[in-house]
């Protein structure tokens, strides 16, 4: 029996009963491929009905002589390696009569769905009339059609019979075929939808994997577009950044956001980026504004560029980062895809994942930026500098690492507040960035506090020094604060270069730091490059500090005393206590051998200061008990004096010795930087409240001396030995020392000349008007026992011979002028009050109503001036005229107080003319 290939399986006829005559009564129906199929030679085509995609059920009646004679019913059966039902993607039941249709004595039987035998017709009914039946295994799906006919009809030749039932069977078969094709189309569409959903799920999974691997955002956008085109099957995909209004310079409309397209993939292979940075309009504008999505007809435009004009074939999604739309996804594809609700949901989920990636990337970038940049200035930090420095060295290039110290930043923080200091530092950071913006590879970083670094790869030493100088000049410009105050700062620079000075990243940075410290020692604005000997200095300082730390506990420190002589009486005014360090090998180290290194460690310097205060007060107490009334001056380091704990340290030293505080003097080294002056002022005021006086040492060197004289409450000034040692070299040096002496006398300060080593120096200082001397010419620093013996044996007579000073006329003339001007200021206020201007005579001239009945100038005339010039006729005339002016002033003040008018005008005229003559 022949086989008919249908859907990959063979369909054959199989008889039910024994074979008999082969007259066929069969129906011609449309086959699986839409055309009529013949089964046996001239026999009519078999009845073929498809119940599902890829399956065929065939039913035909094979006539015999009579039903009892074995009329045969041929049914379709799938043959081959496996049944077609087992290969279906969907669950479809097999036909129940696959192998069990049969005639019996009482009718036609088939096997039911659960294995039961079901009688279809009785034998009598089957032989009397033709009937059509339909067996349904799945609701709504025709599985097979069959017919039954009388024996007479079966014997007739099929081409001579008009068979209405057969025509009806054909119609029903065709209806079933149409229904099955509709179902097949639905199944095909569903399978396509499932396939697209599967591909979209796969693309979504791949996108999530890309997000987990944290590529950069634009790489993620490009990969997403490729996945949508290659895996999901969209026609084209595009993603672009939304740039806020006014984010770029030169935009035509600062109020319109713009889209910068960064990823574009199409099915035809086009993957070039689209239009860059275009203002949005239409649908894109709405999506950008709301952050939602757009589906359906209508073209998507961006400044004249239409992405898709076909209705229903495009969709736009807003990718949100936080509260705003950060990017836009546009896709163009099959309407069935973009109109399906479930597939839209998958697209929206992908957009949410992309938004999460943007937020995560932004968060990660913020963390990375915070880890590598300074929070205040936004400059790179030391960690970032170390990485860049290592990379530059590994690249085999040369370069320079410059380091800048911002002078005066501590004072700004202390006087104007840290907010002002932060403003200054931010302004300097912006200038530093601008200075290196055009230099390839240059990196500006902030170190600790007021230190800034500048990495200059690819530069030789000379070029790097020139660049550092230009940066210094840029940083020197005035800085305007928000409160309209203008400040000036100075930058001191030090640097090192590689590969010449390379010893690793940390080593090069340390060498730049050494160069900076050497530059700071030269003064603000200096620039110094690293030299190898600087490391030896540092190593020595570390060794000294390491050895000094246990010296206090071992009692190796002691005080030596050097006398201070008064030229007025020749007596010893006091002594200066100088620390000495007796090291275990027996040698004695002077302060210059260890104090500069100790000053770099505030903790050690404070311990040294406490030791000196305690020892000095103990010596004052012991000498007082022994009948030696001398003052003792001690040196206190700047960092200790600026330490808030200084007052407590002084109280601890004074405990039980408060009565001897008036004999203690604290010397402030003027060459040392005090940091915050107001802290030092508070410390000195606290000391003065305890009876302790302050001395400004090394006057005239290093930092602004006149500024210190104005700010600090000092009682004595010491002329530095650098001036006294050159005193005999010429008139220029004499004039400088004379100016210092004059300044101190006009300020009413005591004065000591240091470093006197010869009689000539002592004599010249005496003639210049310096009242006290200290130096090797008088005595060297001595241990306590030797100093006490020297004090007892001192004879003041040789030094008490006061001779005429060559500078006395000059000094007296300056002092006279200053005092006369003070009197004139008071008199001028009194004259204004006499003319009717509001003024208090007592307030204008305090000496008129106080205990002192003489003006400042009058007191000098009757005091020091009278003792020196009493025999001079010109001096006596000056004194008489000044006394007359005082009497006139008193008369005028009394008239003003009493409201008298008579004589007031004459007194005003006499007082005015008299002071004009006096001046």
C-alpha span between 319 and 563 (Å, rounded)? 85
**DSSP for 457-516?**
ET--HHHHHHHHHHHHHHHTS-EE-TTS-EE--EEEEEEEEETTT-S-HHHHHHHHHHHH
Backbone angles phi, psi at 48, to 5 degrees: -125, 125
Reported in sequence order, the residue ranges of 44-177 that DSSP labels E, i.e. its strands, are: 47-49, 57-62, 72-79, 102-104, 107-111, 117-122, 131-135, 144-148
C-alpha span between 262 and 112 (Å, rounded)? 65
- The set of residues, in sequence order, having a beta carbon less than 8 Å from that of 345 and lying 6+ positions away, is none
- The set of residues, in sequence order, having a beta carbon less than 8 Å from that of 175 and lying 6+ positions away, is none
> Which one, of 851, 852, 771, 769, lies nearest residue 815 by Cα?
769
> Which one, of 709, 703, 776, 693, lies nearest residue 742 by Cα?
709
Q: What angle do CA 523, 524, 528 make, to 5 degrees?
A: 70
Reported in sequence order, the residue ranges of 178-332 that DSSP labels E, i.e. its strands, are: 236-243, 258-266, 278-279, 293-295, 301-302, 305-306, 314-321, 324-332
Does residue 543 sit in helix, strand or coil? helix
C-alpha span between 234 and 336 (Å, rounded)? 11
Torsional sign, CA 338, 340, 341, 346: negative
Q: At what angle do helices 217-227 and 164-212 cross, to 10 degrees?
A: 170
| CB distance 492 to 404 below 8 Å | yes
Q: At what angle do helices 505-522 and 533-548 cross, to 10 degrees?
A: 90
Backbone angles phi, psi at 71, to 5 degrees: -55, 135
Tokens of 663: 């004999």
Indicate the DSSP class of residue 835.
T
**Tally: H helices and E strands in the chain:** 29, 34
C-alpha span between 61 and 73 (Å, rounded)? 5
Give the catalytic positions in this structure: 754
- The set of residues, in sequence order, having a beta carbon less than 8 Å from that of 496 and lying 6+ positions away, is 400, 401, 508, 511, 512, 515, 529, 530
C-alpha span between 130 and 637 (Å, rounded)? 130
- The set of residues, in sequence order, having a beta carbon less than 8 Å from that of 265 and lying 6+ positions away, is 222, 225, 226, 228, 229, 236, 237, 238, 271
626-661 exposure pattern, b = at least 16 Cβ within 10 A, e = fewer:
eebebbbbbbbbbbbbbbeebbebbeebbeebeebb
- The set of residues, in sequence order, having a beta carbon less than 8 Å from that of 430 and lying 6+ positions away, is none
C-alpha span between 681 and 696 (Å, rounded)? 12
Beta bridge partners of 332: 236, 314
C-alpha span between 327 and 362 (Å, rounded)? 13
Rg for the chain, CA atoms, rounded: 56
| Sheet with 102-104, side-by-side order of all strands | 102-104, 107-111, 117-122
| CB distance 298 to 336 below 8 Å | no
- The set of residues, in sequence order, having a beta carbon less than 8 Å from that of 269 and lying 6+ positions away, is none
> Which one, of 800, 799, 751, 756, lies nearest residue 777 by Cα?
756
């Amino acid at each position: 029996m022949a086989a008919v290939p249908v859907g990959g399986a063979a369909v054959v006829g199989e008889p039910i009963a024994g074979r008999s005559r082969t007259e066929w009564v069969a129906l011609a129906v449309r086959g699986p491929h839409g055309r009529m199929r013949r089964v046996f030679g001239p026999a009519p085509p078999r009845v073929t009905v498809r119940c599902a995609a890829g399956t065929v059920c065939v039913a035909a009646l094979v006539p015999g002589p009579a039903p009892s004679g074995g009329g045969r019913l041929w049914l379709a059966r799938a043959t081959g390696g496996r049944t077609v039902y087992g290969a279906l993607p969907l669950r479809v039941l097999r036909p129940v009569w696959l192998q069990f249709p049969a005639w019996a004595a009482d009718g036609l039987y088939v096997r039911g769905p659960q294995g039961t035998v079901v009688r279809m017709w009785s034998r009598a009914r089957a032989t009397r009339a033709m009937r059509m039946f339909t067996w349904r295994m799945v609701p709504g799906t025709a599985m097979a059609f069959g017919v039954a006919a009388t024996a007479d009809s079966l014997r007739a030749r099929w081409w001579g019979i008009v068979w209405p039932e057969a025509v009806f069977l054909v119609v029903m078969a065709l209806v079933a075929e149409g229904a099955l094709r509709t179902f097949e189309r639905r199944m095909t569409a569903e399978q396509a939808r499932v396939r697209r959903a599967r591909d979209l799920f796969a693309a979504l999974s791949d996108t999530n994997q890309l997000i987990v691997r944290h590529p950069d955002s634009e790489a993620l956008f490009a990969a997403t577009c490729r996945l949508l085109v290659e895996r999901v099957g969209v026609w084209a995909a595009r993603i672009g950044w939304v740039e806020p209004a006014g984010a770029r310079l030169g935009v035509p409309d600062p109020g319109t956001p713009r889209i910068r397209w960064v990823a574009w993939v199409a099915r035809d292979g086009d993957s070039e980026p689209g239009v860059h940075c275009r203002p949005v309009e239409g649908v894109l504008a709405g999506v950008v504004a709301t952050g939602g999505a757009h589906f359906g007809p209508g073209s998507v435009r961006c400044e004249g560029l239409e992405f898709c004009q076909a209705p229903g074939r495009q969709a736009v999604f807003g990718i949100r980062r936080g509260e705003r739309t950060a990017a836009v996804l546009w896709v163009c594809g099959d309407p069935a895809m973009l109109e399906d609700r479930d597939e839209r949901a998958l697209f929206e989920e992908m957009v949410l994942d992309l938004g999460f990636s943007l937020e995560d990337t932004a968060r990660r970038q913020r963390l990375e930026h915070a880890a590598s940049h300074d929070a205040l200035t936004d400059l790179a930090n030391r960690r970032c500098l170390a990485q860049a420095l290592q990379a530059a060295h590994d690249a085999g290039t040369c370069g320079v690492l410059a380091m800048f110290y911002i002078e005066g930043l501590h004072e700004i923080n202390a006087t104007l507040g840290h907010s002002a200091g932060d403003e200054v530092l931010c302004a300097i950071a912006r200038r530093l960035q601008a200075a290196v913006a055009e230099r390839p590879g240059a990196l500006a970083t902030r170190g600790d506090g007021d230190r800034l670094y500048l990495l200059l790869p690819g530069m030789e030493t000379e070029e790097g020094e020139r660049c550092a100088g230009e940066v210094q000049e840029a940083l020197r410009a005035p800085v305007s604060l928000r409160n309209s105050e203008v400040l000036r700062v100075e930058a001191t620079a030090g640097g090192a270069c590689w590969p010449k000075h390379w010893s690793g990243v940390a080593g090069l940075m340390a060498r730049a730091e050494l160069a900076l410290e050497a530059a700071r020692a030269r003064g603000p604005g200096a620039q110094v490059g690293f030299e190898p000997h600087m490391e030896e200095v540092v190593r020595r300082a570390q060794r000294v500090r390491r050895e000094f730390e246990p010296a206090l506990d071992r009692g190796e420190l002691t005080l030596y005393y050097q006398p201070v002589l008064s030229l007025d009486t020749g007596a010893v005014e006091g002594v200066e206590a100088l620390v000495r360090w007796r090291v275990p090998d027996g040698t004695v180290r002077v302060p210059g051998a260890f104090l500069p290194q100790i000053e770099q460690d505030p903790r050690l310097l404070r311990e040294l200061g406490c030791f000196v205060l305690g020892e000095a007060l103990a010596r004052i107490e012991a000498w007082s008990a022994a009948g030696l009334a001398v003052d003792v001056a001690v040196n206190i380091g700047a960092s200790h004096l600026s330490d808030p704990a200084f007052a407590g340290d002084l109280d601890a030293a004074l405990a039980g010795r408060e009565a001897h505080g008036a004999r203690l003097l604290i010397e402030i080294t003027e060459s040392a930087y005090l940091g915050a002056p107001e802290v030092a002022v508070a410390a000195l005021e606290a000391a003065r409240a305890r009876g302790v006086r302050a001395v400004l040492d090394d006057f005239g060197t290093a930092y602004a001396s006149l500024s210190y004289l104005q700010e600090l409450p000092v009682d004595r000034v010491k002329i530095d030995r650098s001036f006294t040692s050159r005193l005999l070299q010429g008139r220029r040096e004499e004039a400088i020392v004379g100016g210092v002496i004059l300044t101190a006398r006009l300020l009413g300060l005591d004065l000591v000349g240091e470093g006197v080593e010869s009689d000539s120096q002592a004599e010249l200082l005496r003639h210049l008007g310096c009242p006290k001397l200290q130096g090797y010419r008088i005595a060297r620093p001595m241990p306590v026992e030797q100093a006490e013996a020297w004090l007892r044996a001192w004879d003041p007579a040789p030094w008490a011979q006061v001779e005429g000073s060559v500078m006395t006329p000059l000094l007296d003339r300056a002092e006279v002028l200053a005092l006369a001007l003070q009197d004139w200021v008071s008199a001028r206020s009194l004259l204004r009050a006499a003319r009717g201007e509001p003024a208090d005579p007592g307030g204008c001239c305090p000496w008129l109503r106080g205990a002192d009945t003489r003006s400042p100038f009058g007191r000098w005339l009757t005091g020091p001036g009278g003792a020196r010039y009493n025999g001079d006729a010109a001096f006596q005339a000056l004194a008489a005229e000044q006394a007359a002016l005082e009497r006139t002033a008193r008369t005028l003040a009394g008239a003003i107080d009493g409201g008298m008018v008579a004589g007031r005008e004459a007194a005003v005229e006499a007082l005015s003319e008299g002071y004009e003559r006096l001046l």
